[in-house]
Amino acid sequence: MAENTKYIFVTGGVLSSLGKGLASAAIGMLLESRGLSVTIQKLDPYINVDPGTMNPFQHGEVYVTDDGTETDLDLGHYERFTNAKLGKDNNFTTGKIYHQVITKERRGEYLGGTVQVIPHITDEIKQSICLVANATDVVIVEIGGTIGDIESLPFLEAIRQFKADVGASNVIYIHLTLVPYIKTACEVKTKPTQHSVKELRSIGIQPDILLCRTESFLSQDIKKKIALFCNVEPEAVFTAKDVDCIYEVPLVYNKEGLGDVILKKLNIWARAPRLDEWREMVEKFKNPRFSVTIAIVGKYVDLTESYKSLNEALTHGGISNEAKVNLQFVDSTTLTRENVDKVMSTCNGILVPGGFGSRGIEGKILAAKYARENKIPYFGICLGMQMAVIEIARNLAGLEDANGEEFNPHTPHPVIYLMKEWVDEQTQQVEKRDETSDKGGTMRLGAYPCMLEPDTFAHKAYKTEAISERHRHRYEFNNEYKDRLVKAGLIISGSSPDHELVEIVELKDHPWFLGCQFHPEFKSKPRDPHPLFREFIKASLKNARE
Ligand code: GLN
């Protein structure tokens, strides 16, 4: 446990989806803006060991960190808002905690004692929190779920004990709650908040600060009422007003004085916040000079949560081009040769994002073909790159039935295939996999280096030769077809340093056509938009003007 480290625990009440992840990220950003170092951890009550195998429909996007951990999408918010470097220790689930405790029990580490939720599970949780402290000034820990759920109880008990362990002056609890406006009564209601705090107090946690999600600013009277019923100081009751742009959240908190109250309660001194750069970014977002429409051709199209980072990265690309990015979601299962012209007639750029399984594949390949033939900017991410490769193989290289092994295991031309064996450049270990390998553990995951070729879209975007990007996929470009595809016009603009893995492909004589095997969206930040998203939006804007 690092000395002098302060801890902020963020819980949520009344109902889910109040934006605890964003609140935690925004608090982190505000503290960083005062010169403090922060890290953020998410404790999730579900039993899956990690979200890697969870359906994005149910749980939203699986976010990947540099070290290859598949995490909750809230870690994406944390990375976008702060400079914290996150990894495997920044996301624990009930499943992961129990897995560790049961492994220790099997090894006999508890010396025959009865293994119980308290103290063994709670101790394991507390140790997991300490893992991220290092020399950080402030550790923010978000507890998933809603107060009142039985699943989150061990986590709440652990954070209750934590205060006694590290000293009361080093810990605060922030509770995010809902204060709904009831139209028929023409007033806001504080009762759900009162009940949620009562529940929290019944398990021994007295919140220090309340963040109240509402539609409009709370009056002083309402704040006083909430303070009285919830045993919180009136100046520690904040309006977390709904905003149009998520990046406004820290600015709203700052205006309300949240940063000052947090510092006071944690008894730390820090300089005034420096928010000019952030403010400028928000202003740019809110006052775009141009507008561009991007078609996203995918499967989980109606659920923005499953493409969270992608949507954000597109927004960042828009900010850097002073453009509003309109998204047109296209369900690839409905895209046909007959309707593609009409469906795509209003978009200025086409993006095929990551995905798994064979459903809707032909529609995505068609979208890549349409973009190539009609010279519409195309950005293929992971699966989207594979689609472009298959399209080029079929229609430019004359490999009629070319496909990926994931979509047709018997294709005569597996231009995208499962690499059965490879040497992990980082660990130098030989990795193996086949079609039957464990679903959770066979993907190429996390950051890999990539070298760029000069005079390519990629090189022009990154303006450097060596890059590192995050992966999450099983299948790869099949080098056996490299020569034939290059002859047909494919440009390989990025590869692993040993040239064994194709990481980026392009087409020439096209305004902008690029597919990458990695997920650039995971590294885009509002203050530092990803170069590929910046260039893709720039090319699409140009297309819009022509
Ligand atoms: N399904 C493809 C693979 O596993 C692509 C994965 C992705 O887009 N993330 O290789």
Q: What is the CATH number of the domain that holds 314?
A: 3.40.50.880
3-class secondary-structure state, position 469: strand
Question: From the alpha carbon of 475, which atom of ligand 1 is closest?
Answer: 10
Residue 305 has pLDDT above 70, yes or no: no
Same domain, 480 and 407: yes
521 is catalytic: yes
Residue nearest to atom 8 of ligand 1 (CA): 354
Residue from 62, 351, 444, 474 whose mutation best tests the ligand 1 pocket (most atoms within 8 A of CB): 474
Domain endpoint, select from 260, 280, 300: 280
Domain CATH for 198: 3.40.50.300
Separation of alpha carbons 523 and 118, rounded Å: 39
Separation of alpha carbons 248 and 217, rounded Å: 15
Answer yes or no: are the C-beta atoms of 259 and 236 closer than 8 Å.
no
Assigned domain for 130 exists: yes
Domain endpoint, select from 280, 300, 322: 280
pLDDT score at 475: 95
Residue nearest to atom 6 of ligand 1 (CA): 473
Same domain, 256 and 312: no
Domain containing 63 equals 6-280
What would the DSSP string read from start to end of 197-213? HHHHHHTT---SEEEEE
Assigned domain for 454 exists: no
Residue nearest to atom 7 of ligand 1 (CA): 354
**CA dihedral (505, 430, 92, 96) positive or negative:** positive
Assigned domain for 201 exists: yes
Same domain, 32 and 180: yes
Same domain, 206 and 333: no
List pocket residues of ligand 1, CB cut-off 6 Å: 354-356, 382-383, 406, 472-475
- 440 pLDDT band, cuts 50/70/90, is very low
Q: What is the pLDDT of residues 505-523, one digit of tens each?
A: 999 899 999 999 999 999 9
- Residue entry with tokens 């006694």: 164
Question: From the alpha carbon of 356, which atom of ligand 1 is closest?
Answer: 1
How far, rounded to the nearest angstrom, does the alpha carbon of residue 191 sit from its chain's CA centroid? 33
pLDDT score at 432: 67
Write b or e for each residue in 225-257: b if 16 or more Cβ atoms lie within 10 A of its Cβ, otherwise e: bbbeebebeeebbbbbbeeeebbbbbbbbbebe
Number of neighbouring beta carbons within 10 Å of residue 59? 16
Assigned domain for 430 exists: no
Average pLDDT over the chain reads: 92
Residue 462 CA to ligand 1 center (angstroms) comes to 23
Q: Which of 476, 506, 521, 535 is catalytic?
A: 521
Q: What is the pLDDT of residues 150-181, one digit of tens each?
A: 999 999 999 999 999 999 999 999 999 999 98
The percentage of residues in the chain with a pLDDT greater than 90, rounded to a whole number, is: 81
Same domain, 333 and 481: yes
Q: Is 264 exposed, middle or buried (0-12, 13-18, 19+ CB in 10 A)?
A: middle
Residue 353 CA to ligand 1 center (angstroms) comes to 10
Residue 275 CA to ligand 1 center (angstroms) comes to 38
Same domain, 401 and 497: yes
Cis ω for the linkage preceding 119 (within 30 of 0):
yes
Number of domains in the chain: 2
Q: What is the pLDDT of residues 44-100, one digit of tens each?
A: 998 888 777 676 666 678 899 999 999 988 999 999 999 999 999 999 999 999 999
Assigned domain for 29 exists: yes
Residue 243: partners with Cβ closer than 8 Å, 6 or more residues away: 249, 252
Assigned token pair, 207? 């919140």
Residue 278 CA to ligand 1 center (angstroms) comes to 34
CA distances from 195 to 14, 230, 353, 379, 456 (A): 8, 9, 43, 49, 59
Residue from 64, 361, 364, 383 whose mutation best tests the ligand 1 pocket (most atoms within 8 A of CB): 383
Same domain, 59 and 207: yes
Domain endpoint, select from 252, 280, 308: 280
Assigned domain for 190 exists: yes
The DSSP 8-state label assigned to residue 144 in this structure reads P
Q: What is the pLDDT of residues 183-198, one digit of tens each?
A: 888 888 999 999 999 9
pLDDT score at 426: 62
Residue 65 CA to ligand 1 center (angstroms) comes to 17
Answer yes or no: are the C-beta atoms of 51 and 72 closer than 8 Å.
yes
Residue of 366, 351, 364, 345 whose CA lies nearest to 317: 351
Answer yes or no: are the C-beta atoms of 68 and 168 closer than 8 Å.
no
Same domain, 33 and 114: yes
Residue nearest to atom 5 of ligand 1 (CA): 383
Same domain, 307 and 249: no
Assigned domain for 173 exists: yes
Assigned token pair, 57? 């429909």
Residue nearest to atom 10 of ligand 1 (CA): 475
248 is catalytic: no
Residue nearest to atom 1 of ligand 1 (CA): 356
130 is catalytic: no
